[in-house]
Amino acid sequence: MKLTNLTILIFIIFIKISVIGQNVNIIPQPNSAVFDEGSFNFTREISLQYNKTNKEITEIVKFFTMKLGEFPANTFSKIKNEVPNRIEFYLQKTKGNSEYYELIVQKNAIILRANTTKGMFYGVQSILQLVNNYQRGNRVSIPCMQLQDQPNFSWRGMHLDVSRHFFSIRSIKKYIDLMAYYKMNTFHWHLTDDQGWRIEIKKYPKLTEVGANRKETLKGHYNKNPQEYDGTPYGGFYTQEEIKQVIEYASDRYVTVVPEIEMPGHAVAALAAYPEYGCTGNSIDVATKWGVFDDIYCPTESTFTFLENILSEVIALFPGKYIHIGGDEAPKTRWKESEFCQKLIKDNHLKDEHELQSYFIKRIDRYLTSKGKKMIGWDEILEGGLSPNATVMSWRGTQGGIDAVNQGHDVIMTPTSNCYLDYYQSTDPSEPLAIGGYLPLEKVYKYDPVPEDMDDTRKKLILGTQGNLWTEYIASENQLEYMMLPRILALAETGWTKPKMKNFEDFCGKLDDQFDYFNRKKLNYADKLSELNSKVSIDDEKGLVLDWFTFRKKDQIKYEIYNENGAMIDEGTVKDRQFTIEKSGKHRAYVLKKGAIFGNPIDLDFFIHKAAGKKITLTNDPAKQYSGNGKSSLINGLRGSTERYGGPEWLGFSGKDAEAIIDLGNKLSVSSFATSFFHAPGQWIRAPKEVIIYGSEDGIKYNEIGKAIPEVGNEKIVRVDFPLKSSKPIQYVKVLIKRHGIISVGEQGEGNEAWLFVDELEVK
């Protein structure tokens, strides 16, 4: 008997412990959640109980009541005094940090406690989400639960570029509302760039009179040849009064606004207004196309006075501690040509123009620091030596962030591979035009801003993460929403929730309720949950195997298989079926909803060549963020997308040649080799210099059996297909792909290693 009681007790304790990580229908997932029996019926009359003499709590409750007013009328009947069904708010010292809150949902009461109003605000957002996410028809029945929650990172940011395209104050407020709803706290406002200066500066009115307007805008994609323009003038800017309004609006939502004033590069709009601060003094126009421009600020004393005067107005406006000064993508062409710059380099014993950039940034840092502000810059500010007080935003990957942390600096991780929400989010060819790349929800979600093997002291310097929305290809509020939603939810969870509490499938399971919310708010979003995904891998026994899946569990997937001649040889329902691929031919699948095909069917055209499904080893690993479905992506019988290089079939290498050794299993005679490379100069991706193939009978002694120099034209895909000359059958094929190397001066990404993206290695 005793033993049984003990067993039950242990069992109960086990259940309590195991449910700490319970999946609550709130995004971001709270860090500790325990469900209790019963539920709180929100549909009844409710009283709000709080200390009405406390101004801060009263403000929060006012916000809460305002938000409740946005719910459909039938969601709850009324706020009334003295009804037993109640929500209680307490501002009191409990455990946790300044953003901590705890929420107890009981049958008749929801009790919210927090250390600070900030924590209380997040508790309120959780209640609002519970009401939204537990709506079923006319009923809102919130399960009883206990949450103890605080964020994993202090910087949970979203960036918005308003230079390439301008967004109204109303749009900006909507953006901030969405951020706040998902407990994000930092709005990085990219206010100046080559294509438009968007902030009123009273001392320099031409910045907006001239710099806020361009005469026309590039139409279609930058890579399109020839480029075309729309012929329509474009402009817009925010007055200082409007900016104050935004700052106040954000502050009411516990969002800090970080302004970005770009320097020394991305300054064409400013130089169009005041050419005297460039190196040539020549008059130039506000940029009408995207990219990187040679005209940058010249580091003269009068330029520093100009920039300090601008910054002093910016500092007076923005109460937050950070000012972002850009620092990225500043070509050194003008500085190289300028006598003044060359003399400055010499007089200050600088090594080159990179040290001059560092000199520039350090002066600005000294100014900002003297005004009590902290400077942030993109990771290029590491070049030529990091300024002492700088915080680094790592965007060209994570190495800049790691280097800065190693030098003891604070870092925000926002690598293009996982945080650039201007990239495509789907493989669907009908997706609206985007800058390029491929960043599906899963890849945003699975990002961890803390690099592996970082020690605890360094980890603390990673303040958090941020999503960036560059707007070259985002011209409307509608499109902005589409690019944000739902990817910012994934980012919000990465910023808030501890990695061990994150689970992508659980996250996806909550999205339908979020989509209902977006529908009610008339927000445009990308629902890709029912989009088909395929995974082709190499199984030691079965060879090539194919799995079809979606991220919406209840989806029904149908398949069809066609032979090489186009005749259908099989069809059915996928369920949990895995397909073994032995022959060339097409595998088609589609999602069926209510008897109709949903979205586009996906076709996988398998081309079974001599290396397909065999064993492959790579001398150098691809970059972690561009590792496709692993090395087998190179010999799985499938070619990659011709539009998106981030997908499962492409492997991306940086700073290393690609070298693969393929074991064909037996000695085979080979006649030719083919593969493709992605070539997108705007994204710093270049076809390689050379491809060399070696053959071997024993895997020890290799002979060169073919080579090719890729021919680069205007196309994104560069293909090589060339004969192999081997006198004997071979078992081993070594493929050596020599990368492009450093990008030349005057090209986009100059001075950086070009990316190498490699597709299927086809041995015939």
Q: Does 328 bind ligand ACM (CB under 6 A)?
A: yes
Which residue lies nearer to ligand ACM by CB, 328 or 747? Answer: 328
Which residue lies nearer to ligand ACM by CB, 279 or 435? Answer: 435
Within residues 267-286, the interface with ligand ACM by CB under 6 A covers: none
Which residue lies nearer to ligand ACM by CB, 254 or 378? Answer: 378
Residue nearest to ligand ACM (CB): 328
- Out of 102, 194, 260, 329, which residue is the one contacting ligand ACM (CB under 6 A)? 329
CB of 213 to ligand ACM, least distance (A): 23
- Out of 335, 395, 424, 496, which residue is the one contacting ligand ACM (CB under 6 A)? 395
Q: Phi and psi at residue 716, in whole multiples of 5°?
A: -75, -25
| Catalytic hit among 99, 193, 383, 481 | 193
Which residue lies nearer to ligand ACM by CB, 395 or 424? Answer: 395
For this structure, is 266 an active site residue? yes
Q: Is 275 buried (19+), middle (13-18) or exposed (0-12) by CB count in 10 A?
A: middle
Number of amino acids touching ligand ACM (CB under 6 A) = 4
CB of 435 to ligand ACM, least distance (A): 10
d(CA 301, CA 283): 20
Which residue lies nearer to ligand ACM by CB, 395 or 445? Answer: 395
- Amino acid letter, 322: Y
Q: Is 169 buried (19+), middle (13-18) or exposed (0-12) by CB count in 10 A?
A: middle
CB of 393 to ligand ACM, least distance (A): 7
* Residues 476 and 483 sit within 8 Å (Cβ to Cβ): no
Instruction: Say how many C-beta atoms besides its own lie within 10 A of residue 238's C-beta.
Output: 23
**What 3-state DSSP class applies to 175?**
helix
Read off the DSSP letter of residue 380: G
Question: What angle do the packed helices 169-181 and 477-484 form, to 10 degrees?
Answer: 20
Q: Does 755 bind ligand ACM (CB under 6 A)?
A: no
Name the CA dihedral angle for 545, 550, 551, 553, rounded to a multiple of 10 degrees. Answer: -100
For this structure, is 159 an active site residue? no
| Catalytic hit among 295, 329, 365, 383 | 329
Which residue lies nearer to ligand ACM by CB, 312 or 399? Answer: 399
CB of 216 to ligand ACM, least distance (A): 23
CB of 707 to ligand ACM, least distance (A): 36
CB of 328 to ligand ACM, least distance (A): 4
- The mark string for 401-420 relative to ligand ACM (x by CB under 6 A, - otherwise) is --------------------
What are the residues facing 225 on neighbouring strands? Answer: none
Within residues 523-562, the interface with ligand ACM by CB under 6 A covers: none
* Residues 761 and 706 sit within 8 Å (Cβ to Cβ): no
Encoding tokens for residue 717? 């895909």
d(CA 612, CA 581): 10
Q: Does 378 bind ligand ACM (CB under 6 A)?
A: yes
Per-residue buried b or exposed e for 582-614, using 16+ beta carbons within 10 Å of the residue's own CB: eeebebbbbbeeeeeebbeebebebebbbbbbb
For this structure, is 409 an active site residue? no
| Catalytic hit among 159, 190, 266, 740 | 266
Q: Does 659 bind ligand ACM (CB under 6 A)?
A: no
d(CA 169, CA 239): 10
Q: Does 473 bind ligand ACM (CB under 6 A)?
A: no
Q: Does 506 bind ligand ACM (CB under 6 A)?
A: no
Instruction: Say how many C-beta atoms besides its own lie within 10 A of residue 61's C-beta.
Output: 21
Which residue lies nearer to ligand ACM by CB, 182 or 423? Answer: 423
Catalytic sites, residue numbers? 193, 266, 329
Binding site for ligand ACM (CB under 6 A): 328-329, 378, 395
